[in-house]
Amino acid sequence: MKAVIFNQYGSANVLEYREIDTPKIKPDELLVKISATSINPVDWKIRQGHLQLISGYNFPKQIGADLSGVVVEVGERVTGFQPGDEVYTSLNPVSGGACAQYAAVKAISTALKPSTMTYEEAAAVPLAGLTALQSLFDLGQIRPGQKVLINGASGGVGTYAVQIAKAMETEVTGVCSTANLERVKQLGADIVIDYTQVDFTQQGTQYDIILDAVGKQIFSNCEKVLKPDGIYISTLPTPENILASAQTWLFPGKSAKLVLAQPNRRDLDALRDWIEAGKIQSVIDRVFPLSDIIEAHNYSETGRAVGKIVCVVESD
């Protein structure tokens, strides 16, 4: 099969799309023929070497977390799936493997693809959608009637977070750039803030939940615009946020939390239910063939994408 690999850390130019062995599945896994994958910032941060203490120094490495496709082989201990099932999931970004024609995936963390979505739309969902869902539900304990602010509302995680928060009947404030204000409104935000004109941390409104989906703020900046028991959640484990999370865990009141999405069938099923009910859609900025992975990574690194960047996996 063909897959994207790299033999050293560096720029997007280290990526190669070439033949490697098709993975062999374990008894609890599925072999999926991948139709589409998507780019997440963590993919190129790993490729650049920012996480090499975790990703290590053994090469070649594969890349990619999100995938949608068709089951072609089922492990002997797997129930609930059969060849031909259309599925979607997210792999561990550190080990990668989704930027390929086939992947071995854990059945326990895989779900049937939303029937109302194309493979491209479904491939955009897993990591970003799970991050948004688990931030708001597991960490934020979101409830109807709350005030929720999403910083980075036009990005991959942000676009799903706005829709999930709105589906939960909260008052949603989306923070984004001038060019994306209308798009964030269309996703359901009640209030939009142009960060190039207004600093939300200096405004008078207080929020029950602040989800910093782009890691551009720290807890100490947001603390004054949190309600007395408000929760700040970040996708970026900076030293400041790690310290704040540890400190606020010990005391009642305002708290800081960090999200690290964990793929599981329950949450993927929940996302699928919302999608099929018309409450969540994928926002896709651009679609590339997987063979143009270098161009896709370079575009992702600009930080200008609205929603997700998707790659279509070509068949031989």
255-310 pLDDT per residue, tens: 999 999 999 999 999 999 999 999 999 999 999 999 999 999 999 999 999 999 99
Residue 231 sits in a domain whose CATH number is: 3.40.50.720
The three-state secondary structure class of 147 is strand
Q: Measure the CA–CA gap between 262 and 266, rounded to whole angstroms.
A: 11
Which residues span the domain enclosing 8?
Answer: 2-125+282-312
**How high is the pLDDT of residue 107?**
98
pTM of the model: 0.96
Residue 35 sits in a domain whose CATH number is: 3.90.180.10
30-75 pLDDT per residue, tens: 999 999 999 999 999 999 999 998 999 999 999 999 999 999 999 9
Domain shared by 104 and 187, yes or no:
no
106 occurs within a structural domain: yes
263 occurs within a structural domain: no
- Neighbour-count burial for 254-276, b at 16+ CB within 10 Å, e otherwise: bbbbbbebebbbebbebbbebbe
Domain shared by 214 and 227, yes or no:
yes
Q: How far apart are the first and last CA of the chain?
A: 8
Q: Measure the CA–CA gap between 239 and 14, rounded to whole angstroms.
A: 29
48 burial level (CB within 10 Å; 0-12, 13-18, 19+):
middle
Q: Measure the CA–CA gap between 127 and 28, rounded to whole angstroms.
A: 21
Domain shared by 29 and 110, yes or no:
yes
Strand order in the sheet with 61-62: 15-19, 2-6, 61-62
Q: Side chain identity at 75, as an amino acid letter? A: G
**How high is the pLDDT of residue 250?**
82
265 occurs within a structural domain: no
